[in-house]
Structure 1
């Protein structure tokens, strides 16, 4: 699975620049109050806990640099970045070529992976080790497989006690990097999903 990709170089460059400026200007005078530096970021919710931990640890060593990260989804983070509302944004999938051309108009952004994690489909059924392949999951999300005891699922789980219960599909409705990663995968394993739904 693809991992997290984020345009967080803005933070690193900002901190590096501040460090250089401090060295050039010399040490602060006794009693001089330094103005806090504020850095804002937003985007994917997946890396938010780790980012908050990094911010906490960084802030202990650098109390004069205030960093805030708003966990609101990859799509929202990208929009904030385009509108120059934040200094950095985090997104699950890499930026599309068209998006990257827009970003370059804002300056010289750099994107790089900083966290890797898997995207998985979960189920709520009293059956241990339920097996679902990509093609079957695609058919479930297209509404072609509606019950847990469908022949396609039973053939993957011989001997399993599958109930005749309707499958209730739950997914995110907002602009989400996780959704993009998941639909990309389903489009790879299912030509039908690619044609009917797409990535």
Structure 2
């Protein structure tokens, strides 16, 4: 009986020492599943981007002649962030890119902060082709209103209000399909690289 009592006392001392050690360790909490208090979860701001894109152009009916086309431009948008916990947040972003014309866009991103200043995000969204006639189905010129894309990116927090944003974005299908109406010209899926800045209000 005395041995059991001594063993229980030692176990209690060990548990209390482990608890104290965890409290004194700043990284002991798993922030991935620790939810924030329901205050100050929302933030908004502006995003500014310098864009460069590459795509393949094909023309000439059955025997296509193809070449790669590069383009540069600028983009501006508005974003709203929703903070899930200390490391995860969601972002909705809407704006206009000007480098293949004026392309309004909308996307949703999931962002994971892996250090105090660096975060990684993935997202999906769509461009809106205002000159097309059908939402998803191609019109007679081979274009559709919705042009979906996926994206990957890194963000670096420079200060409380400013972050740098490096992004890669890939269209999921060609923006224009070859038809009789566009002289069998086809624009391939666009790959876009951008370097931007985010300003938080």
Shorter-chain TM-score bucket reads under 0.3
Q: Higher strand fraction: Structure 1 or Structure 2?
A: 2
Q: Calculate the TM-score normalised by the size of structure 2.
A: 0.23
Structure having greater relative contact order (Cα 8 Å, sep ≥ 6): 1
Q: Calculate the TM-score normalised by the size of structure 1.
A: 0.23
Q: Which has the larger radius of gyration?
A: 2
